[in-house]
Amino acid sequence: MNDLRVGKYVIADEHPCRVMSIDHAKTGKHGAGKNMVVCISIIDGSKHSIMKPSDADVEIPIVERKRAQVVSISGENAQLMDLTSYETFDTVIPEEMRAEIEVGKEIQYMDVMGRKLLTRMYEGE
């Protein structure tokens, strides 16, 4: 828990989250100090918190950033092809990206705990 920093990733309530704040409570009469971590889910934006002793372990998700090409768009979903493995997959297009996403464009996505999340479009490609 001592290695955790604001902006890093952690698993809270089985959600991969980005750490927003960390509050430290001093050592009390009967034990170790505690850390209160407030974090936001990178999947659905929900708020979560973790309260553990400062020497406790926390789970860290493996977050991979990858590139893909948009193959097709159907309503709120897009079919993408990974540019390294050539694997195709479907994913939901985030609200803020729906206006700019186009077939044939390259996009960055995160692969987190088996879920693929679109993060940004590549400009000028």
Q: What's the pLDDT score for residue 55?
A: 84
Residue boundaries of the structural domains of the chain: 9-53, 63-121
- Tell me: the pLDDT tens digits for 102-125? 999 999 999 999 899 999 988 754
The CA-atom distances, in angstroms, between 25 and each of 8, 31, 33, 48, 59 are 20, 11, 5, 18, 21
- Tell me: the pLDDT tens digits for 61-110? 999 999 999 999 998 999 999 999 999 999 999 888 888 899 999 999 99
Mean pLDDT throughout 13-20?
94
Mean pLDDT throughout 5-17?
93
CATH number, domain 9-53: 2.30.30.30
Separation of alpha carbons 30 and 27, rounded Å: 8
Chain centroid to Cα 109, Å, comes to 10
Prediction pTM value: 0.77
Q: What's the pLDDT score for residue 125?
A: 46
Separation of alpha carbons 81 and 101, rounded Å: 14
- Which fold, 63-121? OB fold (Dihydrolipoamide Acetyltransferase, E2P) (2.40.50)
